Amino acid sequence: GENVEQHPSTLSVQEGDSAVIKCTYSDSASNYFPWYKQELGKGPQLIIDIRSNVGEKKDQRIAVTLNKTAKHFSLHITETQPEDSAVYFCAASLGGWVNQFYFGTGTSLTVIP
Amino acid sequence: GAVVSQHPSWVICKSGTSVKIECRSLDFQATTMFWYRQFPKQSLMLMATSNEGSKATYEQGVEKDKFLINHASLTLSTLTVTSAHPEDSSFYICSAPQPLNTEAFFGQGTRLTVV
């Protein structure tokens, strides 16, 4: 089955700096890669996603890049703010309208004011 | 976006009792829902896939007789933790994919504490 690895497990940045979180996946058939933000005691919330036919996607301060050949994808957060502090999970799936998600191990991001 | 509602958000129960957690898709029909368990500072681990009108599919190592799943309607799936023990204490999260869409929407989670 699919194996998703995520690094780093913890990340601290100064407010205004950029944060980068990286994930790798093992199944070349995976074609949908969402990123979730989870705040303490809450369920994950989708913040951005990318499909395998796209190499990069950006939404304001958040961007995701995908390298299908190398089987890795990254989350980039620019101009970080304290409210960006949370746990971030990457995931991979085979896509389709009913699909199973394989999650990375999570990155605890702390933005220092 | 689509909304998935989970209830209760937290529950404390005595060891040996059963607890039911509900997962509802509020503005779309979900023939499939997923149940995850998350231990502190760990990732989400898929427990089972809930299928409307048929039996759930459990992941390896998950006891189907302990974690009963019922998906009786297109908007509701329930997870019942039977004969709960302290080691069952965890954060349980459901998700539902929106039809004709790759995205999955997550409930807000249920914190179960077994004492």
SS3 sequence, B54-104?
A: CCCEECCCCCCCCEEEEEEECCEEEEEECCCCHHHCEEEEEEEECCCCCCE
Give yes or no for residue A97 having a pLDDT over 60.
no
Query: Which among A49, A103, A106 has the least Cβ separation from residue B103?
Result: A49
Nearest CA among B46, B35, B38 for reference residue B88: B38
> Which of A35-39, A50-54, B99-103 is most confident?
A35-39
Burial class (CB in 10 A: 0-12, 13-18, 19+), B80: middle
The dihedral sign for the CA sequence B48, B51, B55, B57? negative
Whether A9 contacts A28, CB under 8 Å: no
In sequence order, the 6+-apart residues with CB closer than 8 A to the CB of B107 are: A43, B4, B5, B6, B23, B93, B94, B95
* The predicted structure's pLDDT at residue B64: 94
Q: Which residues from A are below 8 Å from B95, CB to CB? A: 101
CA distances from B70 to B29, B32, B34, B74, B110 (A): 15, 11, 12, 11, 17
Best probe of the A interface among B3, B21, B44, by most A CBs < 10 A, is B44
Whether residue B97 is preceded by a cis peptide bond, meaning omega within 30 degrees of 0, is no
* The predicted structure's pLDDT at residue A98: 58
> Hey, which residues 50-89 in chain B have their CB within 8 Å of chain A?
none
Q: Which residues from A are below 8 Å from B101, CB to CB? A: 97
* The predicted structure's pLDDT at residue B101: 65
Which chain B residue shows the shortest CA-CA distance from A4? Answer: B43
* The predicted structure's pLDDT at residue A100: 76
* The predicted structure's pLDDT at residue B81: 97
3-state DSSP assignment of residue A97 = coil
Q: Which residues of chain B have pLDDT under 70?
A: 1-2, 99-102
3-state DSSP assignment of residue A83 = helix
Q: Tokens for A2?
A: 């699919």
Give the CA count within 13 Å in the CB-facing half-sphere of B104. 33
Query: Which among B43, B49, B109 has the least Cβ separation from residue A103?
Result: B43
Query: Which among A41, A45, A106 has the least Cβ separation from residue B43?
Result: A106
Least confident of A30-34, A60-64, B11-15, B109-113: A30-34
* The predicted structure's pLDDT at residue B100: 65
> Which of A32-41, A42-51, A75-84, B23-32 is most confident?
A75-84
Query: Which among B44, B97, B108 has the least Cβ separation from residue A99?
Result: B97
Q: Do B106 and A98 touch (CB under 8 A)?
A: no
Best probe of the A interface among B36, B38, B43, B108, by most A CBs < 10 A, is B43
* The predicted structure's pLDDT at residue B40: 86
Which chain B residue shows the shortest CA-CA distance from A90? Answer: B43
* The predicted structure's pLDDT at residue A21: 98
Whether A4 contacts A89, CB under 8 Å: no
Burial class (CB in 10 A: 0-12, 13-18, 19+), B48: buried
Query: Which among A42, A97, A108 has the least Cβ separation from residue B108?
Result: A42
Give yes or no for residue A66 having a pLDDT over 70.
yes
3-state DSSP assignment of residue A44 = coil
* The predicted structure's pLDDT at residue A15: 98
Cα distance from B41 to chain A (closest Cα, Å)? 8
Q: Indicate the pLDDT class of residue A5, thresholds 50, 70 and 90.
A: very high
In sequence order, the 6+-apart residues with CB closer than 8 A to the CB of B79 are: B20, B21, B23, B35, B47, B50, B67, B68, B69, B92, B94
